[in-house]
Chain A
Amino acid sequence: MSLLRAQRLSKSFGEVRAVDGVSFEVRAGELYGLLGPNGAGKTTTLSMIAGLLRPDAGEVVVDGTPFSADPQRAKRIMGVVPQELAVYEELSARENLEFWGRIAGLAPRAARARADELLAALALTDRAREPVKTYSGGMKRRVNLGCALLHRPRLLLLDEPTVGIDPQARLNILEFIRGLQRDGTAILYTTHYLEEAETLCQRVGIIDHGRLLAEGTLAELQQRLGGDRLFILEGELGGAKPEAWPRFAERFQVLQLTDRQLIVAARDTRDPADCLRDLLDLPVRVENVTLKRPSLNDVFLQLTGRDLRE
């Protein structure tokens, strides 16, 4: 059952179409990743879902009810973690958590108890009474995350929650998010980090220039590139013209071609050794060939012609 359904969401800022007909759904207990480069429309999509932005077109349905029909009900179901640190730096972690708990409608005692729980879960108990401004980046991120969890939301919207922190702090946060998902929270997770989407999310939607280009599980997305076979040829490829090579287009799909590298996906299910033989017979000087399983970056490459890391 879907807890969140975004239907043909669109939003323009002047001439710029930030989001263009984006549709997807997040099921109860599912961790759905929205992957795309900066400026792809992830935050705008999330803001529309959170009720911060009014969509130009389309609809958001939360737990079976259109958001516009009962915004306050939808907001009670959701917890939103913005990309920026939306906390009061003069206050301590405990004060921040208690405050947001009270704002979310908890009674003082309940807010205090829940804040204690979260401080422990986020490993912040030791410094709970110190002002947030004295914390490291990772700790601030954890407080930022915790502030959205006081009311135990069934749907959590996370907008790039690990931006700008060190790898260890990032691992801690990812582990915490996995725990939330295990406990049954549905999570919409936007990121431009491939590894996060690959390792964390059960399903991923790839978004670029405001359009959702593909979505599915990692395996489903890999399948778009011929299953688990991707060949990387390195050599002198400056003047190579793949479209002129006989039968090449029937058997392979070019993902990327540079002066030094050609990345192709097999179109059929032939044996990899046969594919390899075909590639070595190409009229170019090949120095090295690598066979690998396609990553989300390769999928993105195939969909956009660009590397997500660019």
Chain B
Amino acid sequence: MNLLRTLLAKDLRRTARNPLPWLIHLAMPLVITALIGLAFGRGAGDGAGLGRIRFALVDEDDSPLTQFLRGGLNQGEGGKYLEPVFLNRATALAQLNDDQLSAVVVIPKHFTGDYLSGRGPVTLELIKNPARSIHPAVLEELLGALVTGLNALARNLPSELPAWREVFARGADYRQVADLIVRTGEKIETVRRYLDPPLITYTKEVKPREDAGSGAGGPGPALNLFGYLLAGLATMFLLFQANIGINDLYGEFAGRTFERYHTLHQRLLPFLVAKGVFVVVMLLLCAAIMLAGGGLLFGIHWQHPLPVALLVLGFAAFGAGFAALFAALVPDARRADALSNLVAMALGLAGGCAFPPQSLPVFLREHITALLPTAWLAEGIRELEFGGVPVNWPMILLRLLAVAGVLLGLATWQFRRRFARGVRP
């Protein structure tokens, strides 16, 4: 223990004397987090999701049908997520250029006539704000769903729509209109189950919390997209940081200080463990910056900070072992750097750090992902924070620590072989 403390104190002292490289390393997660924030636009201030999508609706048709559609935008669930403003095209475009809107939706002239006559598929115009990413994309998806719904409706009401067109064009007495409403209503009722999206639904079973004090289960909060992304990106980034952190081991090897240590001690493990602990400390700092900074930037409220911190600790140990093994296997620092970063990226991608695991290829998802420590951490955090189901995080932590121990042991064995064979950097 004394030996470990001495080695660790030496590394901390050296870092204090020459802090710039590490300050840069610690600044990197801040920069990355800020970049993500900028790339995804203004986040969710309330921490519950995307916030309301502010967009302009330009109604160039101005018919009873389009008035009906306009009115529906603010109703019910729509009002929670959408914030439409009704403008003319010029004003809407001016506000879009001013970055006051996420998009402009234009209902073109003759929209109602074309639709009710069944002349072709429904067309709406969407002008997206290029300075924003998420909101315009969400709006595009919503409009796609709306257009699909309207087209489906048109196909199922081939005789009613012309009648409606007549009503809108020339007017009709209330008996005719009432009759039309009844007929249309009956038809909609018969196709309702096909028209009412989504066709496939998923209902998450939320188990009642058995142990209210466990802090790792119970009904989960709403998904925070940025928190979800950050958990994955931070996981991958920590592996890159581990590679950077272990560079000092190359320095010790090239500078012969590791060799000098070996002239005094037969066992190499304490030296590597000390280096690993040093890397873990640095990774914990990086993780704290990323997760806390991300929390501030994106309004993420981390619900289970202790389990998350412990999982990150386990992953940092894994990262240190992973990077140490690379340093042991590849004597050339630059080659090892490139190679280990590639492997880290592969582990990150296959572990669902950059994409949700559900979108990974089936083979990867079913046979590989579950075996990767990157997936253990990323999914562990996601499940803890946004999953709403109990997570066996102590088991994940144990697995991470076990893998870290194995990797560090392998690194020690390989370094011993390198010394014995006289391999020099």
A interface residues with partner B (beta carbon < 8 Å): 11, 13, 44, 47, 50-54, 71-72, 75, 78-80, 82, 84-88, 90-91, 95, 99-100, 102-104, 131, 147-148, 151
Q: Which residue of A lies closest to B256 (CB)?
A: A86
Binds A, one of B6-14, B46-54, B56-64, B225-233: B6-14
Residues of A within 8 A of B255 (CB): 84-86
B271 to chain A: closest residue by CB: A103
The answer to whether B17 and A52 touch across the interface, beta carbons within 8 angstroms, is no
Chain B residues, CB < 8 A from A80? 260, 263
B6-A82 in contact (CB<8A): no
- Taking CB atoms, residues of chain A closer than 8 Å to B2 are 102
Give the residues in chain A near B260, CB-CB below 8 Å: 80, 82, 86, 100, 147-148
Nearest CB in chain A: distance from B2 CB, A: 8
Contact A52 B263, CB 8 Å, known A84-B255, A86-B256:
yes
A182 to chain B, nearest CB (A): 24
Tell me which residues across on chain B come within 8 A of A75, comparing CB atoms.
263-266
- Contact of A86 with B6 in the complex, beta carbons under 8 Å: no
CB-CB under 8 A for A52 and B14, given A80-B260, A86-B257, A88-B257: no
A183 CB to nearest B CB, Å:
21
Assess the B265–A53 pair: CB atoms within 8 A: no
Residue of A nearest to B260 (CB): A86
- What B residues does A104 contact at CB under 8 A? 264
Residues on A with beta carbons closer than 8 Å to the beta carbon of B395:
none
Interface string of B399-421 (1 = CB under 8 A from A): 00000000000000000000111
State the CA gap A30–B262 with chains docked (Å).
25
CA distance A87 to B10 in the complex (A): 12
Closest residue on chain B to residue A157 by CB atoms: B263
B422 touches A103 (CB 8 A): no
Q: With a CB–CB cut-off of 8 A, which chain B residues contact A151?
A: 264
Q: Is the CB of B6 within 8 A of A51?
A: no
Q: Is the CB of B422 within 8 A of A53?
A: yes
**B266/A71 in contact, CB under 8 A:** yes
Q: Is residue B199 within 8 Å, beta carbon to beta carbon, of the partner chain? A: no
Where the two chains meet, the residues of B that have a C-beta atom closer than 8 Å to any C-beta of A are: 2-3, 6-7, 10, 13-14, 17-18, 255-257, 259-266, 419-422
**A147 to B14 Cα, complex, angstroms:** 17
Which chain A residue shows the least CB distance to B270?
A: A103
List 26 A–B pairs whose Cβ atoms lie within 8 Å, in order of A's numbering.
A52-B259, A52-B419, A52-B422, A53-B421, A53-B422, A54-B421, A72-B266, A75-B263, A79-B263, A80-B260, A82-B260, A82-B263, A84-B255, A84-B256, A86-B260, A88-B14, A90-B13, A90-B14, A91-B14, A95-B13, A99-B10, A100-B260, A102-B2, A104-B264, A147-B260, A148-B263
Say what secondary structure dominates the interface of chain B.
Answer: helix
Given contact pairs A84-B255, A103-B7, A131-B17, enumerate 12 new A-B contacts (beta carbons under 8 Å).
A13-B422, A50-B263, A51-B266, A52-B263, A54-B420, A80-B263, A82-B256, A84-B256, A86-B259, A90-B13, A103-B261, A147-B260
The distance from the CB of A97 to the nearest CB of chain B, in whole angstroms, is 12
How distant is the Cα of A53 from the Cα of B13 in the complex, in angstroms? 31
Closest to A48 in B: B422
**Which residue of the partner chain A has the closest CB to B9?**
A99
Tell me the minimal C-beta distance from B19 to chain A in angstroms.
10
Residues of A within 8 A of B262 (CB): 51-52
B420 close to A53 (CB less than 8 A): yes
B419 — which chain A residues lie within 8 A by C-beta?
52-53
Pick the 3 closest A-B CB pairs, nearest first.
Answer: A86-B256, A80-B263, A54-B420
Which of A53, A54, A91, A99 is close to B6, meaning CB atoms less than 8 Å apart?
A99
Q: Which residue of B lies closest to A103 (CB)?
A: B264
User: CB-CB < 8 A to B17: which residues of A?
Assistant: 90-91, 131
Q: Across the interface, do A103 and B265 meet the contact criterion of CB distance under 8 Å?
A: yes
Bound-complex Cα distance A41 to B417 (A): 21
**CB < 8 Å: which of B6, B18, B259, B420 contacts A102?**
B6
Complex Cα gap A85–B256 (Å): 7
> CB within 8 A of A72: which of B13, B256, B265?
B265
The CA-CA distance from A131 to B10 in the complex, in Å, is 14
**Bound: A60/B184 CA distance, A:** 100
Residues of A within 8 A of B14 (CB): 88, 90-91
Chain A residue, CB-CB nearest to B419:
A52
Distance from A33 Cβ to chain B, minimum over Cβ atoms (Å): 20
Q: Is B18 a contact partner of A90 (Cβ separation < 8 A)?
A: yes
Minimal beta-carbon separation of B181 from chain A (angstroms): 84
Q: Indicate if the CB atoms of B3 and A103 lie closer than 8 Å.
A: yes
Q: A52 to chain B: closest CB distance in Å?
A: 6
Chain B contacts of A47 at CB under 8 A?
Answer: 422
Measured CB to CB, the closest approach of chain B to A295, in angstroms, equals 33
Residues of chain B contacted by A84 (CB below 8 angstroms): 255-256
Q: A88-B14, A90-B14, A95-B13 are in contact. Are A78 and B263 (CB under 8 A)?
A: yes
In the assembled complex, the CB of B278 is this many whole angstroms from the nearest CB of chain A, namely 14
Contacts of B422 in A (CB 8 A): 11, 13, 44, 47, 52-53
Q: Which residue of A lies closest to B267 (CB)?
A: A72
Query: Please, how many angstroms separate the alpha-carbon atoms of A299 and B260 in the complex?
Result: 34
Contact of B10 among A82, A86, A91 (CB under 8 A): A91
Distance (Å) between the CB of B272 and the closest chain A CB?
Answer: 14
Contacts of A51 in B (CB 8 A): 262-263, 266
Query: Which chain A residues border B259 with CB–CB below 8 Å?
Result: 52, 82, 86
Q: Check if B420 sits within 8 Å of A88, measured CB to CB.
A: no
